[in-house]
Structure 1
Amino acid sequence: MTKKIVISEFMDEAAVDSLRTSFDVLYDPELALQRPALARALQDADGLIVRNRTQVDRDLLAGAGKLVAVGRLGVGLENIDQDCCARQGVAVIPAVGANAAAVAEYVISMAMVLMRGFLFSSASVAQGLWPRAQLASGLEAAGKTMAIVGFGSVGQSVGKLAQAMNMRVIAYDPVLPSTHPAWINAVRCPDLDALFRAADVVTLHLPFTPENANLVSDRELAIMKKGAVLINTARGGLVSEPALVRALRSGMLAAAAVDVFEQEPLPADSVLADCPNLFLTPHIAGVTQESNVRVSSLIAQRIAEVLS
């Protein structure tokens, strides 16, 4: 009997077609938001492929008795109950490293435009206000300190691009062994306070856990250099959104780019609405045409290997 794979979020069509040659594939990019239909589809499914919207929790897994593997089109696993998967013998397969280049390019591009300060100037220029003197005080990336919280595959990719821009790279990662070769290319900070104090740019690249909720809040933002910028492409909840707004409105923090939020999609009445010097994107830092192909082909290959 042909094994069945359910794909509940968008995936590169070529990768989907590659799975169809050997498996019965149900591909519906909107299935993540149709919980009853998803649960029914999983009753006889051997494999499931998701991004971050599908909540693979205990209730969903309880009705998926045949499930053998869950492929994650990305690296964050907060939407997957890993303990429950382990108890049921379900393999969880993330696409580690496949979108690192896309995230790194996002971070470096955001760092550059936020330090220059011209990202929010289009409307003024179009209105003839000509804020040239104000925008002439922007900063160059060269010689500045890129501070990376979480020095895994994505953080290391950011570090390499930052070094190519002649930035000084420092990082904090208590999990990565001090003997790891990645530290050859970065200064290893002993604690987060030292990192925040030295940073011109802080970028986050670590998973969300209860222990690091609001890792960046009023205290951390207060010890950063005046004029520093913050970029979060990791997970919502790592940065206190009210604290971020307070720091931006006071001018303590020069600017920020945020791609991930405590609630996604962001509610219309979010505290982040109409905040100055804040650039928001809808969880797309790691999603490009190229990374989608890499991530999708990797997960298709790994799922096929497990089910074959």
Structure 2
Amino acid sequence: MSLQINSVLIADDIEQECVDILQNNGIKVTVQTKQTKEQLLVSLPQHDAVIVRSATKITADLLNASAGKLKLVGRAGTGVDNIDVPAATQNKVLVMNTPQANSRSAAELTCTLILSLARHVPQAAASLRNGKWARKDYMGEEVYGRTLAVLGLGRIGSEVAVRLQAFGMRVVGYDPIVTKEQAAAKNIELLSLEEIWPQADYITVHVPLIKQTENLINKETLAKCKKGVRIVNVARGGIVNEVDLVESLNAGHAKGAAFDVFEQEPPTYRELIEHPAVISTPHLGASTIDAQLRVASEIAENIVQLNKGTVLGVLNAKEIL
């Protein structure tokens, strides 16, 4: 298999930086966004590589139809749930992502949401905008001394932990591939999920959406949590069961929640996003100028380096190379 990438299709909106880097290194770039599946069936086999964000789905059908021509799918971002990685591997198509580029932005949004939950910032701002001066309605709490549970201690989860430790939070964590010693080096107490549920005041999830993590927080696990727990999801929709969470909020067990990602996007479950105890944002984890520039330049630079024989950010390199 040749690793030389001579032509790239950009299928989703991305910063011009990506195009410039590729073209400056002699790679032909075609920008065709918002293509239908039928259009992609035609355009993908005409290129060595395709770059996507989260909008375009690279399915097994597309990969099978592009077999023998397409060499690389580049995801300008972290999650690759919109790419059929097993099908890509079967067709000897490399899958590349940029896991570090938007970690800081996602971590900062997580911290923003946790602090906003503690102080009811969006609700108080909306009330004041509507002409009310309802100070007593928005009594908050300090996060100092509270227990934050971070489920998933990768780049984003670890950055959240460091930032909120600075606010005086006790941080406990869960990650099946992290050792107690590795967690302790970050001042995180590694616990089992069964130990975490009754201790956490705030729970934030930073795991991929896979079979093992789907509905990780549900009716049963919420019932094990202490009364007044707050749930934050800036990872992937489906990790937290939205219906079960709303039921817990309505029952007065969970006290609040913040969601940046949803099972359906745009969200269709209005009871969640319209709930007075829920803060909702439209998938803004990577939506900073800084992160957008980083993912654009990093995916392009990784492709350029691949042409030079250096493999960076390739998820299935062992299976193909």
Contiguous gaps of at least 5 residues in structure 1: none
Contact 1:69–1:306 under 8 Å retained in 2: no
| 1:117-136 map, 5 Å | 117-136=120-139
CA offset at residue 306 of structure 1?
2.2
Contact 1:172–1:190 under 8 Å retained in 2: yes
Q: Counterpart of 2:315?
A: none
Partner of 2:108: helix, strand, or coil? Answer: helix
* 1:245-273 Cα distance to aligned partner (Å, 9 max, x none): 11222222221111111112223x54424
> When the two structures are superposed, what TM-score results if normalisation uses the length of structure 1?
0.92
Q: Counterpart of 1:25?
A: 29
Q: Counterpart of 1:227?
A: 228
Q: Which amino acid aligns with 2:56?
A: T
Summarize the Cα distance change of 1:29–1:183 in structure 2 as closer, same or farther, 3 Å threshold: farther
Q: Counterpart of 1:73?
A: 76
* Aligned mates of 1:282, 1:149 — CA distance in 2: 22
* Aligned mates of 2:96, 2:181 — CA distance in 1: 27
Contact 1:169–1:185 under 8 Å retained in 2: no
Contiguous gaps of at least 5 residues in structure 2: 309-321
* 1:135-183 Cα distance to aligned partner (Å, 9 max, x none): 23x1112222111000011111111111122211111001223443x43
| 1:222-261 map, 5 Å | 222-261=223-262
Q: Counterpart of 2:318?
A: none
Partner of 1:272: helix, strand, or coil? Answer: helix
Contact 2:79–2:208 under 8 Å retained in 1: yes
Summarize the Cα distance change of 1:37–1:150 in structure 2 as closer, same or farther, 3 Å threshold: same
Q: Which amino acid aligns with 2:300?
A: A
Please state if 1:193 is matched with 2:197. Answer: no
* 1:199-225 Cα distance to aligned partner (Å, 9 max, x none): 121110001111221100112222223
Partner of 2:89: helix, strand, or coil? Answer: helix
Contact 1:103–1:154 under 8 Å retained in 2: yes
Q: Counterpart of 1:152?
A: 154
Bigger RCO (CA 8 Å, 6+ sep): 2
**More deviation in 218-227 or 98-107?**
218-227
Please state if 1:85 is matched with 2:88. Answer: yes
* 1:72-124 Cα distance to aligned partner (Å, 9 max, x none): 11111211111111122211111112111101110111111101123212343
Of 154, 163, 175 in structure 1, the residue corresponding to residue 165 of structure 2 is: 163
Contact 2:207–2:213 under 8 Å retained in 1: no
Q: Counterpart of 1:290?
A: 290
> When the two structures are superposed, what TM-score results if normalisation uses the length of structure 2?
0.88
CA offset at residue 191 of structure 1?
1.4
Partner of 2:86: helix, strand, or coil? Answer: helix
* Aligned mates of 2:132, 2:270 — CA distance in 1: 30
Partner of 2:279: helix, strand, or coil? Answer: strand
* Aligned mates of 1:90, 1:121 — CA distance in 2: 50
Q: Which amino acid aligns with 1:140?
A: E
| 1:137-148 map, 5 Å | 138-148=140-150
CA offset at residue 301 of structure 1?
0.8
* Aligned mates of 2:208, 2:5 — CA distance in 1: 36
* Aligned mates of 2:267, 2:241 — CA distance in 1: 14
Q: Counterpart of 2:184?
A: 183
CA offset at residue 60 of structure 1?
0.6
Contact 1:48–1:71 under 8 Å retained in 2: yes
Moved over 6 A (4+): none
